[in-house]
Structure 1
Amino acid sequence: MNELLPDLRQLRAFVAVADEGSFTLAAKKLFLTQSAISHSMRALEDSLECKLLERLGKKTTLTEEGDVFLRRCRRVLGELEMAGRELDGLKRWGQSRIRIGAPHSLCQFLLPTVLREFRDCFPRCEPSIEAGDTGSLMDRLADHELDLVLGLKHHSGVASTSRLLFRDQMALVVPPVHPWAETGVPDKKEVENVQFIIYARASETHRLVERHFESLGVRLRAPLVLGDMEAIKEMSKIGMGVGIVAPWVAKRELDEGTLVAIPAGAEPIERDWSIYWNTDRPLSLIEETFAGISGMVGENLAKLGS
């Protein structure tokens, strides 16, 4: 192999061609001309003394050597990007940005406390928060539009690294006049006929609740599905059904006595909350700090249901 190493422009151009499958689209992505991309790829292949790309009509694909080289390129570029971010943070004493995605419930009940503690550590950092369901947030993470995603354990096709933050349990919430509030347990004979109120159908929480009752062999009547936790609590308070929420979501109502939480059954409905980031880089100091604070605050919230 030639001792002359590829330069960063060639590596970025190669990754762009591999991602886009086209010299034309890669050129548009990098704001270069197609001839500049072609020249760069010829120079790169000459430097490495092997063929990296094959053109099949309008489509450009990787050779076996190109596939191996691409994995190394991603790692190198990822490390360089992370190094630049960390050096920039050191130079400006924590002045940076952090883009976070989280479901609405965490945005309302967890992140305010997390952000208050985080600002004490990095007062010049500028966090931005995007609320949404975990699936759509993971897609934005894959597109590098978010740095971190907080959400339930998720089985998506998005390649990511994750770390468990905390684990909580769902509970049934009813008004104090409800018969189950007095006994403290759900009546097994009535469960199949009860109108349960469950969070959004497309959510991981909804799927967990369904799997829980299926595992018990219970065939539920069609639940009332709402996309807002506040609405679930209000409907439960007026007796429109039995809400299924985490106790930390209903802390105010439980403290006031307008709702009573009872276990969902002998087997709890447990949820794992994790933090996700792209596999092509490690967490920075700022992100590690944010993850640590989120875990501590989340564990305190989860204790409300234990």
Structure 2
Amino acid sequence: MYRPKSTVEQWRIFQAVVDYGGYAQAAEKLNKSQSSLNHAVAKLQQALGLALLEVRGRKACLTPQGEVFLRRSRKLTQDVESLERLADILSSGWEPVLRIVVEASLPRAPLYQALAEFRPRSRGCRIHLVETQPSGCQTVISQQAANLVFASRAYPNITSLPLATTVYVPVCAPDHPLAALAEVGQTELEQQLELVLADGNEQEEGWARGEQRWIINHLHDALSLLRRGVGFAWLPLDVVSPMIHDGILVRLNMANQALRKRFTHLILPGTTPPGPAASLLLSLIRQHYDGHEEPGNTP
């Protein structure tokens, strides 16, 4: 088993002697005797078999080897300080990890904004962001396997917060046959392939679906297929608006078709109140969803 030849305290003293320009100055700053600092550095050099410092007059100067070890030792002491701070953070109840599950069909720009603001205040908390389907959300909630779940429906006896209403619009590629029609009815839609961003339970939403349909698990896959002229899809308006503006996708002009909407619910599956990290992220999420507006919600 490996046994260290040096201690963190020896490296801290070595750094202090360099930073303050000598043993006497470092001893005064550290409130230690000069002899104890001399002894610590001498013992460190003896253990390594290398000269890290050489005294020129009254000043301690780095040797070439000392310059290398100074850079590496700073990372060592910083890592130790980070570990000690982490212990303080975790002992205060701050969560080391937050697991967030998002239903695939829901837009999440406000969530990304909240996470961007959470990062500098996260105090080392790691984020696991997972995309899943409605059935996956249900499993995660029943097993209490996440801190926060974004789902398109609420669940009985589970704490949930309504966040936003998302408008879904039909889109296709500019060269798709539907794009050439001045007005599109349900009959025309039923004759074309539909890409359904769901897990097969789409009938529960009350959205009429055509016989020709592919079930797509991820929004990225649906967009990639649409851009290649494969089928049409009902997708979140705030996601596809930039693509419509740039001419990458075309929004179909529906005849006598009401807007399709989905709600975003924030589910808290746990039976205990969220911890301090989750509470902070939760407040940022609510702030950004409250200020989020759908672009062009008119048909």
The aligned counterpart of 2:199 is 201
Conserved? CA contact 2:133–2:198, under 8 Å: no
The aligned counterpart of 1:229 is 219
Residue type of the alignment partner of 1:227: N
Alpha-carbon distance, 1:295 to partner:
3.8
In 2, Cα distance between equivalents of 1:246 and 1:227: 15
Alpha-carbon distance, 1:91 to partner:
6.2
TM-score normalised by length of structure 2: 0.57
The aligned counterpart of 1:276 is 267
Query: Which structure has the bigger radius of gyration?
Result: 2
Matches within 5 A, 1:290-305: 290-298=281-289, 303-304=294-295
Q: Does the residue aligned with 2:238 lie in a helix, a strand or coil?
A: helix
Q: 1:301 to 1:287 in 2, by over 3 A?
A: same
Q: 1:258 to 1:220 in 2, by over 3 A?
A: same
Conserved? CA contact 2:200–2:215, under 8 Å: no
Q: For 2:166, which of 165, 168, 173 is the aligned residue?
A: 168
In 2, Cα distance between equivalents of 1:304 and 1:177: 25
In 1, Cα distance between equivalents of 2:278 and 2:149: 11
Alpha-carbon distance, 1:200 to partner:
3.4
The aligned counterpart of 2:127 is 127
Matches within 5 A, 1:80-95: 92=92, 94=94
Q: Does the residue aligned with 2:99 lie in a helix, a strand or coil?
A: strand
Q: Which runs of 5+ in 2 are unaligned?
A: 1-87
Q: Deviations over 1:10-43 (max 9, x none)?
A: xxxxxxxxxxxxxxxxxxxxxxxxxxxxxxxxxx
The aligned counterpart of 1:241 is 231
Q: 1:278 to 1:200 in 2, by over 3 A?
A: closer
Q: 1:152 to 1:267 in 2, by over 3 A?
A: same
Q: Deviations over 1:129-187 (max 9, x none)?
A: 233224333433333332221121145x7x41111111101110122345654667423
Alpha-carbon distance, 1:268 to partner:
1.5
Matches within 5 A, 1:1-306: 92=92, 94=94, 96-104=96-104, 109=109, 111-154=111-154, 159-178=157-176, 181=179, 185-202=183-200, 206-207=202-203, 211-213=206-208, 220-262=210-252, 266-278=257-269, 280-298=271-289, 303-304=294-295, 306=297
In 2, Cα distance between equivalents of 1:231 and 1:98: 27
Q: Does the residue aligned with 2:282 lie in a helix, a strand or coil?
A: helix
In 2, Cα distance between equivalents of 1:144 and 1:279: 6
Conserved? CA contact 1:229–1:249, under 8 Å: no
Conserved? CA contact 2:93–2:275, under 8 Å: no
Residue type of the alignment partner of 2:126: E
Conserved? CA contact 1:169–1:305, under 8 Å: no
Residue type of the alignment partner of 2:280: T
In 2, Cα distance between equivalents of 1:184 and 1:96: 54
In 1, Cα distance between equivalents of 2:100 and 2:158: 15
Q: Does the residue aligned with 1:113 lie in a helix, a strand or coil?
A: helix
Q: Deviations over 1:36-81 (max 9, x none)?
A: xxxxxxxxxxxxxxxxxxxxxxxxxxxxxxxxxxxxxxxxxxxxxx
Conserved? CA contact 1:201–1:207, under 8 Å: no
Conserved? CA contact 2:101–2:146, under 8 Å: yes
Q: Does the residue aligned with 2:294 lie in a helix, a strand or coil?
A: helix
Conserved? CA contact 1:102–1:134, under 8 Å: no
Alpha-carbon distance, 1:305 to partner:
5.2
Alpha-carbon distance, 1:231 to partner:
2.6
Q: Deviations over 1:208-232 (max 9, x none)?
A: 66x122xxxxx72331222232232
TM-score normalised by length of structure 1: 0.55
Q: What's the Cα RMSD here? A: 3.5
**Identity score, percent:** 17
Q: 1:283 to 1:93 in 2, by over 3 A?
A: closer
Q: 1:138 to 1:260 in 2, by over 3 A?
A: same
Residue type of the alignment partner of 1:270: K
How many residues are aligned here? 209
Q: 1:263 to 1:93 in 2, by over 3 A?
A: farther
